[in-house]
Amino acid sequence: MSSITLQNATKIYPNGFKAVEDVNLEIADGELMVLVGPSGCGKTTLMRMIAGLETVSGGKILIGDKDVTSAAPKERDVAMVFQNYALYPHMTIGENIGFPLRLRRVSKQESKAKIATAAGILGLTSVLDRRPGQLSGGQRQRVAMGRAIVREPAVFLMDEPLSNLDAKLRVEMRAEILRIQRRVNVATVYVTHDQTEAMTMGDRVAVLESGCLQQCASPQTLYDEPANLIVAAFIGSPSMNLFEAQLSSDGQNLKVGSNLLAADAALKRTPGLRAYAGKTFVIGLRPEDMALATDPNVPAIAGEVDLIEALGSELLVHFSSDAKRTRPVVAASADSEENLPEAEVSAKDGWVARLGARTAVKPGEQVRMVPDLTRLHCFDPVSGDAIR
Amino acid sequence: MLSRTERTLSSIILLVVAIITLYPIVVLVTTAFDKVGGNNSGISFFKSLSFSSFSYAWTQGGFSQYTLHTAIMTVSVVVLSVIIAVLAAYAVALLKPIGSRLLFYAAILGFMLPVEVLVTPWFYELRSLGWLNTYAALIVPQLAQSIAFGIFWMNSAFLSVPKELTEASVLDGATRIDVFRLVLLPNVMPAVKTMSALVFLWTWNAFLLPLVLVSNPSLFVVTEGLANFQGAHFNNYGALAAGAVLAALPVVVVYLASQRSFISGMFAGSTVG
Ligand SMILES: Nc1ncnc2c1ncn2[C@@H]1O[C@H](COP(=O)(O)OP(=O)(O)O)[C@@H](O)[C@H]1O
Ligand SMILES: [Mg+2]
């Protein structure tokens, strides 16, 4: 059992592509660290560097206090669950799980006991004599886990282990993986491109984009205090409303499109904003931090309702205003559609507000939304960094 | 769905093809069961059921010796080519040492060239080595060709094993030899079986190379023996047919025995990565 330390880890592929750049990260013993980011951002590469399947172009990797930067995979005592499980098709489930023990010349008797224990934990006892081809996706997933935990590795790596399962099974397996991780209690790196999965599973979550670590923090911190536009846009579903705004030179008003809001609450939360007086910057508002104006005199953002998604417990109200929307510049990836937060797929380039299920609004209606400026996020328009 | 007429029509076509294919085989087999000398005028159709033609071909005809020579040649070529080609293809596909691409293209050339092109160079080569009329003459050229084919065949088999499987086993603690023995080899086994069967069939049936390189009747293989036998017993159809059946029998047995892996292996080997 040990921690994992990445120091300025960098990977440049032979074709010159920089897949991972200067990543610094420390995963404590027993911690479950989720590595999240859109596909193509370098998650798999980083994980393979930890496993020793990919050479390290720069920086260092430590497991415990041992520098393993150039150690062979075998010497690292790392177990990995592959995205497609990588089960040995010619071996039975029992042989698959016991394979690491067989390679370590563990006695038949001991290995049998360990396989039985692992199979018990994973609910595979009845299928030990079958072959991988005869199992369902969820069962194969468990076998891959079993093979990883049976030898009690120092470090546990999982690369999108749930991405091949259907939605319902995915939710079930999330809980199961958490349970098993707590039980084996080793430093774990869990890779996913699904921010919901990241938020629900991680002790801490590291957001990766274009090979660079954007922020590493607890799920709540990522949600409440995103370090930059990329994290702000990636974490949360529907994602944060990001629009251009100006602070008047006297620091009194916040101008969002043609709407004027009082700036004092925002300035109180974000003192750094004073430096932006008379300038344009980016504001971010979570959908739940907006409410329908009841008093026509209260400063609000005026707009027209485009679409309403009724989720039963709440309404997602999409509306457009005359404010200019901002998107963080995210490197395009082949299947970027899949990674777009849900709200961005729907309707127009507008705002999303999360309102109570019984709120009386209709599509086409003119509305005025009052933002909770005590929860306003502000970002520098050029660097994308949060203004604090 | 096929319509009724279509189905009937295709059945008829298949039947015709089957008759055309099977007729000579049936004639051959029935003729082989004739008595020796019982028929000097031509082909017979189940006139008798006698093994005398077989025993005549086997003993007087020399087929016992021919079969022995062929068996030694074929088994040597199959065993050696499988061992060498599997190891070489593993290197070409996965270890990729410098120059392995070159070896791979040389291998493709080696089995693509028709044997008619190669037989003359082989003749001069083996003559200068003094290997004509030896087992080396029977084995070495065909071994070379089989290895060339085997490298090509096994290369695609190794490439079709998912990379993650090897990587998973490395993380599980496998050495390079463990990976080869416990993960790769079992996964390419269908292709190994297919390769063995193909090489067996080609080598057993080889004619031109043995004909040119082994002219001494005391080292004849079945195909040469049959040709020779035909000259000597041109009117003894029963013995001729029996000789042909004896020459073909091992091929049929091997084909039937390996049919299943043969066909699945054809597909396994064909998914080139
Ligand atoms: N062997 C390679 N050679 C060159 N580029 C690669 C190689 N493997 C991956 N890449 C590139 O590196 C980037 C990161 O890949 P990967 O780590 O697989 O991303 P993720 O797992 O986050 O989807 C991608 O843009 C991918 O195209
Ligand atoms: Mg990946």
Q: Which domains does chain A have, with CATH numbers?
A: 4-229 (3.40.50.300), 239-379 (2.40.50.140)
What distance in Å separates residue B84's CA from the closest CA in chain A? 24
Using the predicted structure, report yes or no on whether residue A262 has a pLDDT greater than 50.
yes
Beta bridge partners of A185: none
Helices of type H across chain A: 43-51, 93-103, 108-122, 137-149, 167-184, 195-201, 219-224, 229-234, 264-269, 336-339, 342-345
Give the one of A73, A74, A89 whose C-beta lies nearest to B187's C-beta.
A89
> What is the rounded distance in angstroms from the CA atom of residue A80 to the CA atom of residue A90?
20
For residue B234, pLDDT beyond 90: no
Residue B262 within any structural domain of the chain = no
Mean pLDDT for chain A? 91
pLDDT, residue A124, reads 94
Which candidate from A73, A88, A103 shows the least CB-CB separation from B165? Answer: A88
Tell whether B4 is covered by a domain.
no
Could you give the CA distance from residue B39 to residue B27 in angstroms, rounded to a whole number?
14
pLDDT digits (tens, 9 = 90+) for B24-83: 888 888 888 877 765 555 555 666 778 888 888 898 888 999 999 999 999 999 999 999
Ligand 1 cavity residues, CB under 6 Å: A 13, 15, 17, 19, 37, 39-45
Q: How far is A64 from chain B (nearest CA, A)?
A: 18
Distance A85 CA to ligand 2 centre (A): 13
Contact B174 A82 (CB under 8 A): no
- Is the ipTM reported for this complex over the cut 0.95? no
Q: How far apart are CA B189 and CA B45, in angstroms?
A: 43
Residues of B near A (Cβ–Cβ under 8 Å) read 162, 164-165, 167-175, 178, 182-183, 186-187, 189
> Which of A82, A145, A158, A164 has the most B C-beta neighbours within 10 Å, making it the best mutation to test the interface with B?
A82
Q: State residue B45's pLDDT score.
A: 62
Cβ separation of A79 and B170 shorter than 8 Å? no
Pick from A21, A36, A44, A338 the residue to mutate for probing ligand 1's pocket: most ligand atoms within 8 Å of its CB. A44
Instruction: Measure in Å the smallest separation between the Cα of A268 and chain B Cα atoms.
Output: 53
Q: How far is the CA of B17 from the centre of ligand 2 (A)?
A: 53
Residue with tokens 């006139």: B47
Residue A133 C-alpha, separation from nearest chain B C-alpha, in angstroms: 14
Strand partners of residue A245: A281
Domains identified in chain B, total number: 1
Q: Judge whether residue A335 has pLDDT over 60.
A: no
Q: List, for residues B200-210, the tens digit of each pLDDT value.
A: 999 999 999 99
Number of A:B CB contacts under 8 A? Answer: 52
pLDDT at B238: 82
> Mean pLDDT across the stretch A16-44?
95
Locus of tokens 């629009």: A243
Q: Of B164, B173, B186, which has the smallest distance from its Cβ to A100's Cβ?
A: B173
**How does residue B110 score in pLDDT terms, banded at 50, 70 and 90?**
confident
Sheet holding A314-320, edge to edge: A290-292, A366-371, A301-310, A314-320, A351-356
- Predicted pLDDT at A246: 94
CA A16, distance to chain mean position in Å, is: 27
Residue A31 and residue A21: Cα distance in Å, rounded?
23
Contact A86 B164 (CB under 8 A): yes
In chain B, which residues have their Cβ closer than 8 Å to the Cβ of A86? 162, 164-165, 167-168
CB atoms within 10 A of CB A133: 9
Which ligand is the nearest neighbour of the Cα of A47? Answer: 1
Q: What is the DSSP letter of A239?
A: P
> Residue B161 has what pLDDT?
94
Q: Helices A108-122 and A137-149, interaxial angle, to 10°?
A: 140
Ligand 1, residues A12, A17, A192: which to mutate, most atoms within 8 A of Cβ? A17
d(CA B255, CA A92): 30
Residue A339 has pLDDT above 80, yes or no: no
Q: In whole angstroms, what is the distance from residue A46 CA to residue A52 CA?
A: 10
Q: Which two tokens stand for residue A133?
A: 């081809």
Cβ–Cβ gap B170/A103 under 8 Å: no
CA distances from residue A32 to A57, A177, A212, B179 in whole angstroms, order as listed: 26, 10, 20, 30
Cβ separation A103–B174 shorter than 8 A: yes
Q: Name the nearest CA neighbour of B179 among B195, B163, B191, B160.
A: B163
Looking at per-residue pLDDT, the higher value among A149 and B239 belongs to: A149
CA of A52 to the centre of ligand 2 (A): 16
Which two three-digit tokens encode residue A81? 């669950």
Cβ pair A100:B170 closer than 8 A: no
Chain A residues near any Cβ of chain B (below 8 Å)? 51, 53, 73-74, 78-80, 82, 84, 86, 88-90, 99-100, 103-104, 147, 151
How many whole angstroms separate alpha carbon A343 and alpha carbon B147? 60
Task: Give the ligand with the smallest distance to the CA of A82.
Answer: 2
pLDDT class of A340 with cuts at 50, 70, 90: very low
Q: Give the pLDDT score at B254.
A: 87
The amino acid sitting at B22 is L
**Whole-model pTM?**
0.84
- Contacts with A376 (C-beta within 8 Å, 6 or more apart), sequence order: A265, A266, A269, A270, A283, A284, A285, A289
Taking an 8 Å cut-off on Cβ atoms, the answer to whether B171 and A53 are in contact is yes
Task: Note whether residue B88 is domain-resident.
Answer: yes
Ligand 2 centroid from CA A171, angstroms: 20
- Residue A83, classed as helix, strand or coil, is coil
- Which residue, by CA, sits nearest to atom 20 of ligand 1? A40
Query: How confident is the model at residue B28, as a pLDDT?
Result: 85
The CA B131 to ligand 2 mean position distance, Å, reads 58
Output the domain CATH number for residue B149. 1.10.3720.10
- How many whole angstroms separate alpha carbon A219 and alpha carbon A199? 5
pLDDT digits (tens, 9 = 90+) for A45-84: 999 999 999 999 999 999 999 999 999 999 999 999 999 9
pLDDT tens sequence across B253-269? 988 888 776 666 555 44
Taking residues A283-293, what's their average pLDDT? 95
Report the run of H or E that residue A277 belongs to, with start and end.
Answer: none
Answer yes or no: is B157 within a domain: yes
Q: Which of the listed residues A11, A13, A234 should we mutate to test ligand 1's pocket, taking the one with most ligand atoms within 8 A of CB? A: A13
Residue B261 is assigned to a structural domain of this protein: no
Note the pLDDT tens digit of each residue in A200-259. Answer: 999 999 999 999 999 999 999 999 999 999 999 999 989 999 999 999 999 899 999 999
Of A72-81, B107-116, B193-202, which gets the smallest average pLDDT?
B107-116
Question: Min CA distance, A72 vs chain B (Å)?
Answer: 9
- pLDDT at position A16, please? 95
The predicted structure's pLDDT at residue B273: 29
Task: Find where tokens 């068996």 sit.
Answer: B71
- How much is the pLDDT for A66? 94
Do the Cβ atoms of A6 and A24 come closer than 8 Å? yes
User: What was the pLDDT predicted at B39?
Assistant: 53
In a domain, B25, yes or no: no
- A345 has a pLDDT exceeding 50: no
Digit-coded pLDDT (tens) for B130-189: 999 999 999 999 999 999 999 999 999 999 999 999 999 999 999 999 999 999 999 999
Q: From the CA of A22, how many Å to the nearest CA of chain B?
A: 25
Q: Which of A20, A39, A41 to mutate to test the pocket of ligand 1 (most atoms within 8 A of CB)?
A: A41
Q: Which residue, judged by its Cα, is nearest atom 21 of ligand 1?
A: A44
Looking at residue B258, its pLDDT comes to 81
Answer yes or no: is B267 within a domain: no
Which residues constitute the domain of residue B119? 66-223
- Asked if the model's pLDDT at residue A36 lies above 50, the reply is yes
Phi–psi pair at A167, nearest 5 degrees: -55, -40
Answer yes or no: is B85 within a domain.
yes
pLDDT tens digits, one per residue of A185-203: 999 999 999 999 999 999 9
CA distance linking residue A362 with residue A371, whole number of Å = 20
| A53 closest CB neighbour out of B167, B174, B189 | B167
Which atom of ligand 1 is nearest the CA belonging to A191? Answer: 21
| Tokens encoding A146 | 């079993």
B chain contacts of residue A88, beta-carbon cutoff 8 Å: 165, 168-169, 183, 186
pLDDT for the residue numbered B24 = 87
Rounded to the nearest angstrom, the distance between the alpha carbon of A335 and the centre of ligand 2 is 12
